[in-house]
Structure 1
């Protein structure tokens, strides 16, 4: 992996940090794309100290802000000729309705739409890898509980009817649909897969969730899979030769192929989501770039 450049979103905590540490041990050149650049720099220093890998850069990235995403992509493209592996890992969970800067429901905006824009904006570097680049989307088994309500993606139904768990499931379903459609459109140039990391003891539900959710999760978290094990499938998909020609698939926490939900395999819905997403980010990503 010493000749590989890997970008990981949300790499200063949880599964993202554990993934970065593991890949650093392989000698990869890492780019930690995080909202808090100071924390990202501290993480990079800690990983270097732990692994001896000095090829770890940071990149400011706020997935709730299209301008930040475009700026991050532009900065990466200016400094790096190629991107071998993109791991769309960052995620958010909230019990109450919140919106991104552009007015999208926060979980849909951060967990999916921001990653869609980032992936498309980085496509020039991904395409430079001569058909061996990999895009990895961290989804969740919760996608099976999700539907895709195009009438809720901007919080149209209001705070009273907002259900954080349903919104989270919807965003993770979008990750799977995106993976399948990305493979259909770019499968000749890259491989792309998505995964369920397991029920991992991260701080995901402790950051923006309500008091009850935070309390319940804090009680359960010690019994959950630790982050270093939750990173197993992301690391496997990033570096294993076993999956170098596997694309458009969904893997579980044991690196086994699984069939996603029937709605996640709906090609018409995947195309509709793609077209919606293209329109949503059109002001930040000229079509000729991809």
Structure 2
């Protein structure tokens, strides 16, 4: 992996950090794209100390802000001629309705729209790798419980009936649909796959969830798998020669191919989500090649 440049979102904690550590140990050049730049730099230093790999850069990225995503992509493209692997790992969960500065429900914005925009903006660097670049989207088995309610994406239809779990499942379903449509549109130039990492004991449900959810998760977390184990499939999809020609597929926590939900396999729905996403981020895609 020493000749590979890999960008990982949300790489300062949980599965993202574990993924970064393991790929750093293989000699990859890493870019840790994180909302908290101080924590990202601390993580980079810790990974260097642990692995001896000094080729670890940080990139400020707030996926809830299209402006931040555009700035991060511009900075990356100015400094890096190619991108071999993009791991869209970062995620958020919240019990309460929050609206981003761009006017979208937080979980849909961060977990899907932010990564959609980032991927589109980084296509020039991904295309430089001559048909060997990889895009990896960290989804969840919760996508099986998800549906797409386009009227809910801006949060206006939710009100007091907002369900954090429903919104999270919807965002994870969006990850799978995005993966399938990205493969259909760009499968001749790159591979793209998504995965369920397992039920991993991260701080996802502690950061923005309510007191009850956070308490219950804290009690259950010791029985969940550790982040290092949860990184197995991300590392496999990023590094294994076994999947260099595999694209548009969904993998489980054991690196096995699985069939995603029937909704996730709906091509018409995937196209509609893609078109909605393009329109949502259109102002920040201006000037980019199709």
TM range, smaller chain = over 0.9
State the TM-score, normalizing by the size of structure 2. 0.99
What is the distance in 1 between the residues matched to 2:175 and 2:158?
24
Equivalent in the alignment of 1:136: 136
Equivalent in the alignment of 2:279: 279
Equivalent in the alignment of 1:44: 44
What is the distance in 2 between the residues matched to 1:43 and 1:36?
11
Summarize deviations over 1:24-83 as a string: whole Å, max 9, x none.
000000000000000000000000000000000000000000000000000000000000
Whether the 8 Å contact between 1:64 and 1:110 is mirrored in structure 2 is yes
Equivalent in the alignment of 1:161: 161
Summarize deviations over 1:85-123 as a string: whole Å, max 9, x none.
000000000000001110100000000110000000000
1:215 matched to 2:207: no
Equivalent in the alignment of 1:113: 113
Equivalent in the alignment of 1:71: 71
Can you give the 5+ residue segments of structure 1 that lack an aligned partner in the other structure? none
SS in structure 1 of the partner of residue 159 of structure 2: coil
SS in structure 2 of the partner of residue 63 of structure 1: coil
Whether the 8 Å contact between 1:96 and 1:159 is mirrored in structure 2 is no
Equivalent in the alignment of 2:254: 254
After TM superposition, what 4+ stretches of structure 1 lie above 6 angstroms from structure 2? none
1:5 matched to 2:5: yes
Whether the 8 Å contact between 2:29 and 2:56 is mirrored in structure 1 is yes
What is the distance in 2 between the residues matched to 1:146 and 1:287?
34
Equivalent in the alignment of 1:231: 231
What is the distance in 1 between the residues matched to 2:166 and 2:136?
23
What is the distance in 2 between the residues matched to 1:289 and 1:114?
18
1:30 matched to 2:30: yes
Whether the 8 Å contact between 2:121 and 2:288 is mirrored in structure 1 is no
Q: How many residues align?
A: 290
1:204 matched to 2:211: no
Summarize deviations over 1:134-185 as a string: whole Å, max 9, x none.
0000000000000000010000123301000000000000000000000000
State the TM-score, normalizing by the size of structure 1. 0.99
1:176 matched to 2:176: yes
For 1:235-246, list aligned pairs within 5 A. 235-246=235-246
Can you give the 5+ residue segments of structure 2 that lack an aligned partner in the other structure? none
SS in structure 2 of the partner of residue 168 of structure 1: helix
Aligned CA RMSD, in angstroms, stands at: 0.6
Equivalent in the alignment of 1:124: 124
Structure 1 residues 117 and 261: alpha-carbon distance in aligned structure 2, compared to 1, 3 A threshold = same
